[in-house]
Amino acid sequence: MTEPGLCRSDNSFFWWVCSTIFLPLTLPYLLLKVIGIIKERKYRECLPGKVVLITGASSGLGEALAHTFFLAGCKVVLAARRKDELERVRKDLLELHTTVVTHSPVVISIDLSDINSHSAKVQEILEIHGQIDIIINNAGISVRSGCLSTAMDVDIKVMLVNYFGTVALSKACLPSMMKRKEGRILCVSSVQGKFSIPHRSAYGASKHALQAFCDSLRAEMADHNVKVTLVSPGYIRTALSYNALTGSGSQYGKMDPTTESGYSPEKVAKRILKAVLRDEQDVIVAPIAPLIAYWIRHLCPPLYFYIMARRARKLEASDKVK
């Protein structure tokens, strides 16, 4: 028979833990969830008819974003280098059977590395639609190479596309947004913009730079009602690794196991739509492992450095075996 006093003691301790630890953490979380749902419902009604410029829309996450925002009733502008692939995406969108009013997508050929051409491209869109409500900076390239084996030309190319190209296109969109006192700059970064891993120095550096740019721009645009959202996904099941560059600048041409097992583009696209609807500023879309790495990096840097050093040794050993 259990002693009555012991039961009361155990119950008291249980409720003490709940009231002093879990309750203070749970209530703010639930409150934020409720606020997010209310915002999402409110802004979903305003989204139809918004002009959304999506870069890298010819495949992968960009194509998924095109489908997601098109089905939300937006006027999507599909941008990438490969105009033939953009036309394919446009054709696919027009063949969708929807229950909402949709708008014929616009196709614009944009090379992010040609930063001096962005103003003219934005002006072309403004002449068609009169405004750009949301720009989703999704296009980018990756690298699979150690720091010393990466040619400087590759470092420069990755930074030019992932950072300078994105910044230049965003700056080209800003004047019209500021004039209207309305707009959103959304940049698709990576969890590797939050913490770096071996053999991704060029890619990680470009995404770290994007993080800093968004944080500064968000503060500067606060009084102009131009919102800034940074989304940092983990691995996504796209052709990013296949199209990645090697240290010499050639195509990597392989699908990494981590990329192959990543989130589907459709799942990430829907989460990005939710981030827009909820007016979120900085979002990580990743499974538990990258989230743990993120917190270890910030809460216990020596442990993070140790783990990354071990990972680098394993990669070097694997390369020698090959």
Q: From the candidates 203, 235, 252, 263, which is the catalytic residue?
A: 203
Sheet (strand 226-233) strand order: 106-109, 75-80, 51-55, 134-137, 183-188, 226-233, 282-285
pLDDT value at position 6? 43
203 is known as an active-site residue:
yes
pLDDT tens-place string over residues 258-302: 888 889 999 999 999 999 999 999 999 999 999 999 999 999 999
Domains and CATH numbers, the chain: 50-286 (3.40.50.720), 289-321 (no CATH)
Report helix, strand or coil for 184. strand
Which percentage of the chain shows pLDDT scores above 90? 71
The pTM (predicted TM-score) of the whole model is 0.86
The pairs formed by 115-124 with CB atoms below 8 angstroms and a separation of 24 or more are 115/160, 115/164, 115/165, 115/168, 118/165, 118/168, 118/169, 118/171, 118/172, 119/172, 121/79, 121/169, 121/172, 122/169, 122/172, 122/173, 122/176
Over range 249-255, report the average pLDDT. Answer: 85
pLDDT in tens, 120-168: 999 999 999 999 999 999 999 999 998 999 999 999 999 999 999 999 9
Helices 166-180 and 118-129: crossing angle in degrees, nearest 10, is 40
